[in-house]
A and B are shown apart, each in its own frame.
Chain A
Amino acid sequence: MRVLVIDPDPARAALVAEGLAGGEPSEVRHAPKFDEAEARRFGPDVVVVAADSPDRDTLESLREASQTNPRPVVMFVDRSEPGLAEEAIRAGVAAYVVDGLAAGRVRGILEVAMSRFQLMHQLRQDLAKAKADLASRRTVERAKALLMKERGLDEEAAYRLLRKLSMDTGRNIGAVAADLLAFAGVLKGDGA
């Protein structure tokens, strides 16, 4: 089975290819964008496209054109499969099946693509969170140092004060620390 993966993100497409490697023998090709001439040469049975690729509208229109032109019929993966189209859209993928291929055979491909897209999404979120945590820890350290200097507190007391402020205001400690630093700047005349 020939699968064309159109995705601006090569990492996600590589994951999809890897995920399909174990199953039915298939040739997976990745393209960052849809090129009609190239696609015709490759002759895919299924086109998997990332929802954040601008080429979805082009792919869909081939179905419209096929009503008058002699070209392969392209269609959204069978919507009669309960929930599949919904899950796929939420995961950020769509699939177009070239005429003559049973929609049932596409299910596996779409499931692999969905799980790989979600994995990638999770990895990105984890990375962003790790970065944010690090930045927040640095802010807390600086706010603590400021409190120790201005209020003559020891480190433990400075941290307790920040935590109390955080609980009183119902906001996380990083945000409270950032506010404290910003206000200290204003009181000293910065940015006012």
Chain B
Amino acid sequence: MRCGDPLRLGFVPLVDSVALVAAHELGFFEREGLKVALSREVSWATVRDKMAVGALDGAHMLAPLALASTLGVGSDPIPMVAPLALNLNGPAITLSSRLGPALRRGPGADGLAGVMARRRAEGASVLTFAVVYPYSVHAYLLRGWMAQAGIEPDRDLRLMVASPLRMAELLEDGIIEGFCAGEPWNSAAEASGAGRIVAWASQLRDRTPDKVFGVTEAWAAARPDDLSKLVRALQAAAAWLAAPGRVADAARLLSQPAYLGADTALIEPGLADLVAHHGAANAPRSADGAWLASEMIRWGQAPPDTDAAALASRVYRPDLYEAALAA
């Protein structure tokens, strides 16, 4: 890359991309002397591939995507590092309105388990659910939520992958009966009448790790100064968002067609649920990475002998985060 070219950062249209959007729109990148161009991406596979070939310098990414890429699961190995966590909590599980009675039993999946058992007894086909990417906390939340009610995800249902932007229409078309995705796509499905949010990540687990800001390990080694500046700018944007009364402002920024292109009324609930700064949320904790890696092993995505702690400390880099903020 030539000096003076903007840094290209990818994001997927989701509420939790807010730090990148705010840093860009409100001048936090500029304040660090960075020129940044944001690139809207609609699939995680494209984010991963563009990072691998250097068409993106950094991106808003699913934390397990960074782990899977580093491990070489689902693609050639592309080691990634996460010098900053973008959010905890945020994802939600939405079930089709057609499942009516199964919805009315609190945040557990017992009602759903009942429906599935009945269908099995009747010899009906298994229900289909969707998550946003095989390697995502969404997949692990949905699987864990079902497993707690005695459902075996790999036997009792069909689990597909779909873009969060497609979830509401898949629900409406009867292709899927439920999904786990980030906001505002749960709220959008609820607003259209196709589904109902039955559980938020915050109800299922304390401080669920979700998105990180990621760069390749090679980029981090080659561009330490730019990396520090990016971390500081994103940290500043997250702090801006955390001040009282900012949810409405941030929702207005995100609602623009270049970002989410959705109504502010759909964006605000998800923003409010997000832990995007408070409680040292931006510091990447390798314990979060280790939990996600252990889920990858639990569900057969990573070999059982994978060293979850070692993988997590290779990807999650609190040292880079602290060095950036100390500078």
Contacts and interface: CB of A to CB of B under 8 A. Distances in A.
Contacts of A65: 160
Contacts of B44: 57
B59 to A, nearest CB: 14
Contact of A55 (B43, B49, B53, B154): B43
B74 A64 contact: yes
A79 B50 contact: no
Contact of B50 (A60, A61, A68, A89): A89
B37 interface: no
Given A54-B165, A54-B166, A90-B53, A60 B45 contact: yes
Interface in A48-98: 51-61, 63-65, 68, 76, 79, 85-86, 89-90, 94
Contacts of B46: 51-52, 56, 89, 94
Given A60-B161, A61-B134, A64-B134, A54 B49 contact: no
Contacts of A52: 42, 46
Contacts of B53: 85-86, 89-90
Nearest to B159: A65
Contacts of B162: 54, 57-58
B22 interface: no
A83 B162 CA distance: 28
A120 B208 CA distance: 42
SS of A interface (majority): helix
B135 to A, nearest CB: 9
Given A51-B43, A89-B55, A79 B76 contact: yes
Contacts of A64: 74, 134, 161, 301
A51 B163 CA distance: 13
B42 A53 contact: yes
A53 B134 contact: no
Interface size class of B (residues with CB under 8 A): 20 to 34
B161 A54 contact: no
Interface string B280-304: 0000000000000000000001000
Contacts of B75: 76
Interface in B64-91: 74-76
Contact of A68 (B49, B133, B154): B154
A94 B45 contact: yes
Nearest to A76: B75
B132 interface: yes
Nearest to B49: A89
Nearest to B161: A61
A86 B301 CA distance: 26
A18 B163 CA distance: 29
A7 to B, nearest CB: 12
B134 A56 contact: no
Given A52-B42, A55-B43, A90-B53, A60 B74 contact: yes
Interface in B135-173: 154, 160-163, 165-166
A56 B50 contact: no
A90 B132 CA distance: 23
Contacts of A94: 45-46, 49
B50 A57 contact: no
Contact of A58 (B50, B52, B55, B161): B161
Given A63-B74, A65-B160, 4 more contacts: A54-B162, A54-B163, A54-B165, A57-B163
26 contacts: A51-B46, A52-B46, A54-B163, A55-B166, A56-B46, A57-B161, A57-B162, A57-B163, A58-B160, A58-B162, A58-B163, A59-B45, A60-B74, A60-B161, A61-B133, A64-B74, A64-B134, A68-B154, A76-B75, A79-B76, A85-B49, A86-B53, A89-B49, A89-B50, A89-B55, A90-B55
Interface of A: 33, 51-61, 63-65, 68, 76, 79, 85-86, 89-90, 94
Closest CB pairs A-B (n = 4): A54-B163, A61-B161, A56-B43, A54-B42
